[in-house]
Amino acid sequence: MRRSADASDVDGLEAFARALQSTFPARHDAPLALALLRLLSDGRPVTATALARAANRGEGEVARRLGNWPNVERDETGHIVAFSGLTLRPTAHELRVGTRQLHTWCAWDTLFLPALLGATADVRSTCPITGSVVELVVAPDGVRSARPADLHVSFPPLKVTDTADITGSFCCHVHFLAGADAARSWQETRADDVVLDVDAAFELGRRAVSALLEPGSPTVMEVSR
């Protein structure tokens, strides 16, 4: 993978996406993962009882499955408040779905979560180099608009990524970079990082989460509420 790339680098994106699929352990149970994401997107902590009902599963089965998934964050009562990039806790990356103000663990999450949620989202973040505000409208099938238009996303080298601590080893390094100068500045001090333009980063996300969408794609998305 080149240190910077665009959406035309199909082979490079495919290889990178395959490597990143391991950061989604829940891909082996897409219906349950999507049910959890949909419930979280309502903006309230999710109980095991509510998730079992939404996924049409037994509560014991759901509890066992969640116990095997890393990076499921809970509040002090044990209710789920974050999963697979979507969080109810404030971060630097805002994701508004309808009237619901949500957040994500990293910039990249805002690009693939709309497809998993089946909804268009308004995104707001900040470039760590320039300090400027970044705003996007992201639909399930692509980035509808981005300000600034020349937008990039940083990714750390996969060798430092630990799926047991995805927020501490990966997400904290994934940011929107506003403009080519910001992208170059980022890579001057982080030579091993990958920087993609925003359309390539969206395509990377689409490919990386494909396993969550492929098993009966239309019906998987229609979890009961």
pLDDT in tens, 6-15: 444 556 678 8
pLDDT, residue 3, reads: 47
Question: Has this prediction a pTM greater than 0.75?
Answer: yes
Residues 6 or more apart in contact with residue 11 via CB below 8 angstroms? none
Which residues, in sequence order, are bridge partners of residue 136?
123, 146
Cα 121 from Cα 114, distance rounded (Å)? 6
Q: Are 168 and 186 in contact (CB under 8 A)?
A: no
Residues 6 or more apart in contact with residue 99 via CB below 8 angstroms? none
- Predicted confidence (pLDDT) per residue in 34-83, tens digit: 999 999 999 999 999 999 999 999 999 999 999 888 889 999 999 999 99
pLDDT, residue 23, reads: 77
219 pLDDT band, cuts 50/70/90, is very low
25 pLDDT band, cuts 50/70/90, is confident
Region 20-40 average pLDDT: 87
The catalytic residues are 106, 109, 171
Q: How many helices and strands in the chain, by DSSP H and E?
A: 10, 12
Cα 201 from Cα 54, distance rounded (Å)? 31
